[in-house]
Structure 1
Amino acid sequence: MGKPALVLGPMMRHVDQSSANIWVETGSAARVVVRAGTRSWEARTFAVHGHHYALVEADGLEPGSTTPYQVEIDGAPVWPDPDSPFPAPVIATLAPERPLRLVFGSCRTSIDHGRSGNRTHGVDSLRAFALQLARKPERRPDLALFLGDQVYADSTTKEMQKFIRARRDLKEPPGKELKDFEEYAELYRLAWSDEANRWLFSTVPSAMIFDDHDVRDDWNASRSWKRKMEATSWWHERIVAGLASYWVYQHLGNLSPEQRAQDPLWQKIAAHQDGAELDLSADLDAFAERADKEPRSYRWSYCQDFGSTRLIVIDSRAARDLDPDRRALVDDDEMAWFDERLRGGFRQLLIGTSLPFLLPTGLHHVESWNEAMSEGAWGRFASAVGERLRQAIDLEHWAAFQNSFRKVAGMVQEVADGRRGPAPELIVFLSGDVHYSYASEVERSTGSRIVQAVCSPVRNPLPLAMRSFTAVMSYGIATPVGALAARSIKVPDPPFEWKNIKGPWFDNNLATLEDTQSGLSIRWETGEVDHRDYQHPRVREVSAVLLEPRGSAGMQPADLSHADPAERHTPPI
């Protein structure tokens, strides 16, 4: 039996006021047509290692319009399924003055949605959200932002292992982990094939950035880590496949038409108009190999403006400089790009980074201490101990790259103080990774409020025993002990102080961020099963905050009249 005409998708990717990009994977070389209203757009597929993909740009659209659409492959309708229980998918363009509504989260495993999957990994918050949205499509967000670990290349499910076992011996490296592009393609298929989530992807624009598990745990934690990986027999094929598949499945759809036109790989696709389907395999592999060896050769970060809100999504994995003399979470070129876009003049400035910029203070101090020790502040023996500790408990966030942390902290304070144009009301870091959710805020009396909001995981909860350890490390004894340890090794105090304002909690969550008249509303929601109806979980609010602009204590409560009753009691913070 051959592959279906439509293997994955359609996925609604970058959308602006006048255009929308729709991504698909097809079963064979084909011409893909998107029809909406009286108009149609088409694209030919390109091939990568025997798989076929197309990105259709629907342009010339009206701002603020919402239009149902259909997808055809070689003239045959393939989406939506006429028997689908879900509403028709739509192309919904941005409206210049419409306040932003965005959902975000990270860390989602591809486990079945029945009793056994929920017992080990909890209810999929993304799927619960999709089912709720299908009942209330008027609550459609403008963007779904996925902040890393969309797929787990190093911790595979039984279904994925069955696929691997049919191709090779699991006793040979890399064992149950992914080896090549073919296995990545199957991993994405498993992650994005659920009926409800597939419908969600087809109607809500999405943006993505990788984190470590998209490639491997602790990816680029240190030069020592990278050298250890490069000494294996399998790492080269893995990193090439990881970055190549990420470009196809995630990154390509992040780009606006203007940004895509500057991409050297897309230029090859766009230039190929006649003859047989373009096979991009060799070019993509060479690109991925170069991107790993020379991080400055390609940029994975991106930026998009939504009316009065700017979103900057920054790569905190591949753009690292691991040279001990220049150690940085974000290398000089990437930092300069970020610096150029970090400007005032917006109501809100959102910074998407898979790794939390503001960790709980105890963990921040522990990571800064560990970095100094690992980099030799206490000698060679202590350095080796510090490196083992760094990799064992993932001490490699912004706090573990103090030069980068301090640089960004200074830049953000300049924006908040109005030294880079009119100060925004709010500067909010959106992050994931840590497998618990919380909100914290820099202690400031003037200028913009600077807030960290974390939503993790979407579906991959920490075991109960690990939750206690994490709470102690982040909020318990680690706070005073971490500060003493950092000072003992002469790590300077942070350039500002911050406090926890919500959390932590360990539920599977998806967060919704919404611009309201009185400020920015953020609520975290989880999925719950009633009466063992595992296929139809409901959404329950876990926590919520309303981030009011500074000096707005006398303002009226946020306009949440369109929200569900449970959402109308968002407490101001």
Structure 2
Amino acid sequence: MTDRAWDKLIQALPIVLAGPILRHVTAESVTVWVALKQPAEVELTIYETTNQGTVLGTSILQGRYPTVALGKSLHVVAVTAKSNGNNLNSDRLYAYDLQFSFDDPQQSPKTLQQALQSIDFPRVNISYFAHQKPTFVLPPHRLEDLRIVQGSCRKPHGGGYDALPILDSLIEDRAAQPQHRPHQLFLTGDQIYGDDVAEPFLWVASPLGDALLGWEEKLPVGWREPDDVEYYTPQQLPFGRRAEVATTHAGFTAGLHNKRGKVNSHLLSLGEYYACYLLAWSPTCWLMQIPPGKQISDRRQISRRWDREARALRQFIHTLWKVRRALANIPTYTIFDDHDVSDDWNLNRAWCLRVLGRPLGRRTVQNALLAYAMFQAWGNTPEQFTAGQAGAELLAAAADWSSSSGTDTVAYDRIARYVGMPLIDAQTNLPTFVEDGTVLILKRHPEAIAWHYTVRSHCHETIVLDTRTWRGYPIEEKSSAPPMLLCPTAFEQQLRLPLQQSASETQIQLTFAIAPTNVFHLQAIDWIHHWQLRRNKVFATDVGDAWNINLEALAQLLIVLFEQRRQVIVLSGDIHYSSMVRLTRKSNLGESNSVLTQLTCSALKNEETLTRIVHTRLKDWLLPERVRHWKGWSNPPNMVELSAPQSRRDPDSHPSHPPDWNCTLEWIPRQNARTPSFGNDVTWLISPRKQANSSKRHWLQFLCFWQSPLLQEGREAIGRNNLALVQFQLAETSHSYTAIQDIYWFSTWQPTQIVYSRFKSHLADRPSLPNKA
């Protein structure tokens, strides 16, 4: 398709390309992110509501901000409305609207509803009420009223139905009930996939990205710059044929070990990463029908793969309207994991040297981080993007880079500085490492944006960890050795300081910590990781992304958490199954016992054959999870699993003096699936044509033993695409809470039915916030 044809398609689109997405919300401020096809000044107005949200009241907060030009037809903004004394209250429904003003005097201002519509999109439903305004509610004062949603790992062509639209049903079911509708959404990693991209997806994203930018990026392909680099545009690196350039020239590891298909359509350009976000969050930019495979290739294998991926994408697109509405109506917070950039991102020192030592690898990582900053980080921490802050400098640099059509090297270097790209040694062209205690860390500019942050409300706090860019790589071990997921400096800045800052806030009843990668895995995964580590095949199964592979880091995590808190809940994803585990730490030094509860939720859309097996009774029949035990020391931090074979073989792995504490880990069994009030009414899930075909085969489901509840009701994990709702129950006879994680998924015995499985676990008794025992 020609550039003129793409411009014509974009001109036919509504003004709003993606969003609005409700982001950081406190009693004093509200931030909303939106992407437009033309520049505008965006005004955000917050309204009170009455009659259970059905009637708009007076406006109480306002804010305005101009969009930032990321391209000729891509302008984004995270606009914040701040309080002038009229703070928002919990347990009340609020609504908001956006107004868009344009430089062109011939173009009148538009409301949000007007900007969402066009000839091709005459009706866009963004609200649960007749007034057509998105609504939200602040977290409550009491922990037993809190409702938090979490999810991770959403690959558009991944197996199974997309579970994120279930959030829309959860909100809609309780939209008028502020104490019962979800209060916050945490997306804990892999919101997009830079690697493992479907060919039809890149077929759309690559030219769309160029059209939005208005220019074609020149990607440096070669080994060392400037002597051995040639420049290619994204269109010269077509979908389905990028394995060689992604693996050899960019250095990415997702395609190693005979997995070239994972990088055949790897995102590389800035426009592709921008487009990927728009296509993941909104149906608007899916401009064209995906053609059948026979029009793409006359080779049967390629044609069939294309058709298989295209079917998955069409299903994904079919429910995007529900995703869009949900994200507009709940405060949303995110953090990256590896796939937001590329598989294995910063996994170990070997990956850093391999990828960041190549021009194309560095360019792609920087493009991914810039896109993350514009589409995710700005809404997480809007205060970092105000005037005089590093984020504001990054916004200006991003606009300069685009206005120069990717030729302004000063702007490019400024982007590298503010997104925290590792500094490169001028002589070796390799990333620079510096010592941080006993480990090495990537050296970056001190003005770089902080990706970690903390969200506090009346009854809880959430500490969101950056376990990707602040890793500590062992100095004296080989470059593929598993790192500390947080180096000593990161432990201090991301955990200890936030915990100390809120220690005096006695109204905070519970601390959440978001760790994108699991603290504790299934025992079988640990075995595989240790086996692959001994064989030096660390990229095959992401060896190094598990906290309990580096026991020094795991011990340090527990020590820092339990210095100030007796009970902590870790929210996690990454692993493509959902579960609940409880770790109890008993001190031998006279301190009170402490409890860490890990709530894992994954994947929103990426179920696989292995996770489907883990989901069933076969897992706990053949390989049940056992209670596991560790002993640990605080100075220096270390811990040893009592039953681990590697510990028995290595007598020097632990000190000779008695342990300071002991830990016990148990897996909480899930209850049998139930059907929520909205679970049977899922006509929105599949198209009418597919519904007709499904009804003809519905009776066959009862003849398939594999799909039956008897086999599917496993006890330890949910391996189907899922979404988690976390809430708490206060015991009537004590001050202790029970944590409840309801995992929503699509049943196999009736595929157009939503069910949920419940995990429940007691927390420690309610503490005074510092651990004074």
Give the TM-score taking structure 1 as reference length.
0.80
* Counterpart selection for 1:125 from 148, 151, 163: 163
Instruction: Name 2:29's counterpart in structure 1.
Output: 19
CA contact (8 A) 1:154 1:177 kept: yes
The reply to whether residue 461 of structure 1 matches residue 529 of structure 2 is: no
Instruction: Name 1:222's counterpart in structure 2.
Output: 348
User: In structure 2, how many angstroms separate the alpha carbons of the residues matched to 1:267 and 1:165?
Assistant: 27
Instruction: Name 2:50's counterpart in structure 1.
Output: none
Instruction: Name 1:356's counterpart in structure 2.
Output: 518
The reply to whether residue 63 of structure 1 matches residue 89 of structure 2 is: yes
Q: From the superposition, tell whether residues 474 and 431 of structure 1 become closer, same or farther in structure 2 (CA, over 3 Å).
A: farther
User: In structure 2, how many angstroms separate the alpha carbons of the residues matched to 1:331 and 1:259?
Assistant: 26
* Counterpart selection for 1:300 from 451, 455, 459: 451
Select the structure with the greater relative contact order (CA < 8 A; seq sep ≥ 6).
1
Displacement, 1:234?
2.2
Q: Give the length in aligned residue pairs.
A: 516
Equivalences for residues 293-332 of structure 1 within 5 A: 293=423, 294-295=443-444, 297=446, 298=448, 299-325=450-476, 327-332=483-488
Instruction: Name 1:379's counterpart in structure 2.
Output: none
Displacement, 1:32?
1.2
Q: Which moved more, 1:406-415 or 1:92-101?
A: 92-101
CA contact (8 A) 1:13 1:21 kept: yes
Equivalences for residues 436-451 of structure 1 within 5 A: 436-444=577-585, 446-451=592-597
* Counterpart selection for 2:576 from 435, 441, 444: 435
Q: State the one-letter code of the partner of 2:236.
A: R
Q: Give the fraction of aligned pairs with identical amino acids, expressed as a percent.
A: 20
* Counterpart selection for 2:236 from 153, 163, 168: 168
User: In structure 2, how many angstroms separate the alpha carbons of the residues matched to 1:271 and 1:435?
Assistant: 36
Q: Deviations over 1:281-307 (max 9, x none)?
A: 647632356434435744211111121
The reply to whether residue 140 of structure 1 matches residue 181 of structure 2 is: yes
Displacement, 1:329?
1.4
User: In structure 2, how many angstroms separate the alpha carbons of the residues matched to 1:362 and 1:461?
Assistant: 18
- Say which SS state the counterpart of residue 197 (structure 1) adopts: helix
User: In structure 2, how many angstroms separate the alpha carbons of the residues matched to 1:468 and 1:432?
Assistant: 16
Equivalences for residues 92-111 of structure 1 within 5 A: 92-94=137-139, 96=141, 99-111=145-157
Q: Which moved more, 1:136-145 or 1:62-71?
A: 62-71
Displacement, 1:325?
4.1
Q: Deviations over 1:129-180 (max 9, x none)?
A: 2134223313432210011010011011243221356533333423410002
Q: Deviations over 1:182-209 (max 9, x none)?
A: 0011111111012111111111001101
Q: From the superposition, tell whether residues 108 and 392 of structure 1 become closer, same or farther in structure 2 (CA, over 3 Å).
A: same
Instruction: Name 1:78's counterpart in structure 2.
Output: 112
Q: State the one-letter code of the partner of 2:512.
A: L
- Say which SS state the counterpart of residue 237 (structure 2) adopts: coil
- Say which SS state the counterpart of residue 112 (structure 2) adopts: strand
Instruction: Name 2:334's counterpart in structure 1.
Output: 208
- Say which SS state the counterpart of residue 410 (structure 1) adopts: helix
* Greater C-alpha radius of gyration: 2
Instruction: Name 1:403's counterpart in structure 2.
Output: 552
CA contact (8 A) 2:417 2:444 kept: no
Q: State the one-letter code of the partner of 2:600.
A: V
Gaps of 5+ in 1: 112-119, 375-381, 417-422, 553-573
Q: State the one-letter code of the partner of 2:584.
A: E
* Counterpart selection for 2:664 from 475, 497, 506: 497
User: In structure 2, how many angstroms separate the alpha carbons of the residues matched to 1:516 and 1:360?
Assistant: 27
Superposition RMSD in Å: 3.7
Instruction: Name 1:528's counterpart in structure 2.
Output: 746
Instruction: Name 2:490's counterpart in structure 1.
Output: 334
Equivalences for residues 40-55 of structure 1 within 5 A: 40-50=62-72, 51-55=74-78
Displacement, 1:233?
5.0
Q: From the superposition, tell whether residues 94 and 456 of structure 1 become closer, same or farther in structure 2 (CA, over 3 Å).
A: closer
Structure 1 residue runs of 4+, over 6 Å off? Answer: 276-281, 476-482, 529-532
Instruction: Name 1:507's counterpart in structure 2.
Output: 720
Displacement, 1:77?
2.0
User: In structure 1, how many angstroms separate the alpha carbons of the residues matched to 2:555 and 2:415?
Assistant: 35
Q: Which moved more, 1:523-532 or 1:470-479?
A: 470-479
Q: Deviations over 1:203-240 (max 9, x none)?
A: 10011010011111111111112222235452111100
* Counterpart selection for 2:757 from 537, 542, 550: 542
Give the TM-score taking structure 2 as reference length.
0.60
User: In structure 2, how many angstroms separate the alpha carbons of the residues matched to 1:467 and 1:191?
Assistant: 28
Q: Deviations over 1:17-72 (max 9, x none)?
A: 12110111110211112233444432101122443111111122432342222222
Displacement, 1:395?
1.8
Q: From the superposition, tell whether residues 103 and 394 of structure 1 become closer, same or farther in structure 2 (CA, over 3 Å).
A: same
Equivalences for residues 269-284 of structure 1 within 5 A: 282=412
- Say which SS state the counterpart of residue 521 (structure 2) adopts: coil
The reply to whether residue 487 of structure 1 matches residue 487 of structure 2 is: no
Instruction: Name 2:562's counterpart in structure 1.
Output: 413
User: In structure 2, how many angstroms separate the alpha carbons of the residues matched to 1:550 and 1:225?
Assistant: 44
Q: From the superposition, tell whether residues 364 and 465 of structure 1 become closer, same or farther in structure 2 (CA, over 3 Å).
A: closer
CA contact (8 A) 1:432 1:455 kept: yes
Instruction: Name 1:182's counterpart in structure 2.
Output: 271
Instruction: Name 2:430's counterpart in structure 1.
Output: none
User: In structure 2, how many angstroms separate the alpha carbons of the residues matched to 1:282 and 1:243?
Assistant: 13
User: In structure 2, how many angstroms separate the alpha carbons of the residues matched to 1:315 and 1:191?
Assistant: 23
- Say which SS state the counterpart of residue 443 (structure 1) adopts: strand
Q: Which moved more, 1:298-307 or 1:86-95?
A: 86-95
Q: State the one-letter code of the partner of 1:487.
A: R
CA contact (8 A) 1:428 1:453 kept: yes
- Say which SS state the counterpart of residue 291 (structure 1) adopts: coil
User: In structure 2, how many angstroms separate the alpha carbons of the residues matched to 1:183 and 1:271?
Assistant: 19
Equivalences for residues 212-291 of structure 1 within 5 A: 212-232=338-358, 234-255=360-381, 257=383, 263-266=389-392, 282=412, 285-287=415-417, 290-291=420-421
Instruction: Name 1:196's counterpart in structure 2.
Output: 322
Q: State the one-letter code of the partner of 2:192.
A: V
User: In structure 2, how many angstroms separate the alpha carbons of the residues matched to 1:432 and 1:405?
Assistant: 17
Instruction: Name 1:114's counterpart in structure 2.
Output: none
Q: State the one-letter code of the partner of 2:730.
A: Q
CA contact (8 A) 1:128 1:538 kept: no
* Counterpart selection for 1:4 from 3, 8, 14: 14
User: In structure 1, how many angstroms separate the alpha carbons of the residues matched to 2:395 and 2:272?
Assistant: 24
Q: From the superposition, tell whether residues 189 and 352 of structure 1 become closer, same or farther in structure 2 (CA, over 3 Å).
A: same
CA contact (8 A) 1:103 1:510 kept: yes
Q: Which moved more, 1:294-303 or 1:245-254?
A: 294-303
- Say which SS state the counterpart of residue 668 (structure 2) adopts: strand
User: In structure 2, how many angstroms separate the alpha carbons of the residues matched to 1:549 and 1:435?
Assistant: 28
Q: State the one-letter code of the partner of 2:137.
A: A
Q: From the superposition, tell whether residues 148 and 408 of structure 1 become closer, same or farther in structure 2 (CA, over 3 Å).
A: same
